[in-house]
Each structure stands twice: as C-alpha cells, then as structure tokens.
C-alpha cells in the first residue's frame, strides 16, 4: 500500500500492524508451568499437596473420596519365638510408615488382640486399603515396601499369609479408616473341594446380610480372595465394631448366622485386632 493510501484505508493499515505483532509473538519464549503435566495427571488431587501426614488420610470419607469398590489387603505374620521385642517394634513401626506411600488409602499394623481359630499361631497383622488392584501392585513393588520386608519382616518371621479381595461399597459406608480403638473381626474360609460359584455367592450374601440383622456393627467387607499367598483360603471377611465390647456382645449372634454355611467349610481362621493410633508422618 502506498503512503498516501493509508489515510484512505486506515482500517487496512491497523490490520497489517496487528498481523506483524502476532507473527513476532510466535517467536517469543512460551509460558512454562512450574510442574510436570505428566506427574500432575498421575498423582490424585488430594495427594498433590506436600507435606501431608498419616492422620490426614483418616479424614477420607466413603461418601466423597472413595470409589464404589475398595481393595482390601491383609497380611498375617507369625513372629519367631524369643524374638527381641525391639526388633518386633521396628517391624511394626516400619510397616506403619508405609502409610505415606501415595497408592495407600489406609494402613495399620500391630499385634493381634486375640486368635479365635487358626491352624497357624499368627501374632501380628497389617490391614491396608487401595482404590484399585493396580495401586496395590504399585505398593507391593515400591522400594520402601520391599526394603521393609527384607530388612524388618523376613529376619524375624517364620510364616506370612496374605489375603486380598475387592469389596463393594464397604457395606456400611463411613470412613475408609477405622478409628483407633475400633475392633476388627477377620474371618477367612477355606471351602471344601467341588463347590461351585453359587455356594460362594450364597456365603458372601449371608455375610453381607449380617450387618442389617444385628446392630452395633460399623462396617462389613467381604469378597473372594485373589492373592496367591492365601494358603487356599478363598472367602474373606472383615467386620469393624466401635470397640471390643460391641464385638463381644454380638459374637454369639454372628456365630449363629455363620453356622448356616459351616457345612461348606474345610477350614477357617478367625482373628481379632484392635486398630492402633497412627503416629507416622511423611
């Protein structure tokens, strides 16, 4: 455009200038974010703020932060006789510190309160929860977990059993994290050979129905085991009571309900555990 044409066509002149500015802006350094987009996508929103403590996970509620399915992970330990108590404490403290791993929703480890029935005299247990089987796998191979197992668990334990299952809605809702002082009744069932899936479904249905029949049970979780380290026990259940008094007061009634499927069983394990206060922090 000739100089004297600018006065005749001012709109075209400003359009040309804007295009030139836009072209120059494309050569400037782009705006950079202070975080990696890949890491931001992989870490859940409620774990993206650091530091956080184990106690903060106790505030996760089923109604708002929990998927419709939860993966339960139970590990039973038999500590060798005459083991130095300091080594047992180191094992328990090291296990409880694994609550800091991102894939873990809940974790609590300690001594068993009572063994009602078990062919193996287990002494301690770990209970943890995950939002998926994939997150359980991430926990299992995490260097911190592997280190605890090699350095603190294997040297003092002569038997270990793990049971894993998927539960729907935790039958009772409430917090993902049972409050300290809660009493947990664990039951693992080994069925007689040759029983079909309809029997498993019947047993699971009976277990789920216990909470609705008897008050005082805070939460019931049950499902079919998928761990290769469960020693043949295929049905697992976990009942959470507000405390030991509530567990003991309902024990006879719950046993009457479980007697309905006793004829299907080859063996069973029943253990009681009291949830310990969590003191580990990240």
Question: What is the full DSSP assignment across 139-182?
Answer: HHH-HHHHHHIIIIITTTEEEEEEEEEEEEGGGT-SBSSPPTT-
Identify the top-confidence range among 50-54, 212-216, 247-251, 263-267.
Answer: 263-267
Please state which of the ranges 4-13, 124-133, 136-145, 267-276 shows the lowest mean pLDDT.
4-13
For helices 197-213 and 244-258, the axis angle rounded to 10 degrees is 140
Residue pair 70/174 in contact (Cβ under 8 Å)? The answer is no
CB 203 within 8 A of CB 223: no
User: How do residues 99-117 score in pLDDT, each as one tens digit?
Assistant: 999 999 999 999 999 999 9
Q: What is the predicted pLDDT for the residue at 216?
A: 84
Range 196-217 average pLDDT:
89
Q: Which of the four pLDDT bands, split at 50, 70 and 90, describes residue 172?
A: low
DSSP letter assigned to residue 45: G
| Confidence (pLDDT) at 212 | 83
Cα torsion angle, 169, 175, 177, 178, sign: negative
pLDDT, averaged across the chain: 80
Tokens of 251: 């024990």
Is the pTM higher than 0.85? The answer reads no
Q: Token pair of 91, please?
A: 């094992």
Q: What are phi and psi of 205, to 5 degrees?
A: -65, -40
Q: What is the mean pLDDT of residues 55-60?
A: 44
Q: Are 249 and 225 in contact (CB under 8 A)?
A: no
The confidence band for 170, taking pLDDT boundaries of 50, 70 and 90, is confident
Structure confidence at residue 214 as a pLDDT band (50, 70, 90): confident
pLDDT of residue 174: 66
pLDDT of 19 > 70? The answer is: no
Task: Identify the band that residue 68 occupies on the pLDDT scale cut at 50, 70 and 90.
Answer: confident
DSSP state, residue 113:
S
User: Who contacts 200 (Cβ-Cβ below 8 Å, separation ≥6)?
Assistant: 191, 224, 234, 235
Distance CA 55, CA 100 (A): 10
Q: Which two tokens stand for residue 101?
A: 């791993």
Q: Is the pLDDT of residue 80 over 80?
A: yes
Which residue has 């890949």 as its token pair?
38
Task: Give mean pLDDT, residues 74-88.
Answer: 98
Q: What is the mean pLDDT of residues 164-182?
A: 85
Least confident of 47-51, 101-105, 147-151, 259-263: 47-51
DSSP for 183-240, written as a single string: EEEEEEEEEPTT--HHHHHHHHHHHHHHHHHSTT--EEEEEE---TTSTT--EEEEEE
């Amino acid at each position: 455009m000739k100089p004297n044409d600018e006065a005749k066509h001012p709109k075209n002149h400003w359009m040309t200038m804007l295009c030139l500015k836009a072209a120059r802006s494309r050569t400037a350094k782009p705006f950079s974010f202070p975080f990696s987009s890949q890491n931001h996508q992989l870490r859940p929103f409620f774990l993206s703020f650091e530091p956080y403590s184990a106690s903060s996970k106790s505030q996760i509620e089923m109604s708002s932060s929990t998927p419709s399915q939860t993966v339960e992970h139970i590990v039973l330990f038999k500590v060798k006789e005459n083991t130095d108590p300091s080594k047992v404490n180191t094992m328990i403290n090291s296990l409880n510190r694994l609550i800091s791993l991102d894939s873990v929703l809940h974790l609590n480890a300690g001594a068993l309160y009572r063994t009602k029935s078990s062919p193996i005299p287990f002494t301690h247990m770990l209970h943890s929860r995950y939002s998926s089987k994939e997150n359980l796998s991430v926990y299992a191979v995490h260097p911190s977990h592997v280190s605890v197992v090699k350095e603190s668990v294997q040297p003092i334990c002569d038997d270990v059993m793990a049971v894993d299952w998927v539960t729907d809605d935790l039958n009772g809702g409430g917090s993902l994290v049972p409050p300290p002082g809660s009493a947990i009744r664990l039951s693992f069932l080994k069925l007689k050979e040759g029983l079909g899936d309809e029997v498993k479904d019947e047993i699971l249905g009976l277990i789920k129905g216990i909470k609705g029949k008897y008050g005082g049970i805070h939460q019931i979780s049950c499902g079919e085991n998928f761990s290769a380290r469960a020693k043949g026990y295929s049905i697992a259940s976990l009942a959470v009571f507000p405390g030991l008094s509530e567990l003991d007061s309902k024990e006879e009634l719950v046993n009457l309900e479980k007697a309905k499927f006793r004829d299907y069983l080859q063996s069973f394990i029943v253990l009681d555990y009291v949830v310990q206060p969590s003191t580990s922090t990240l």
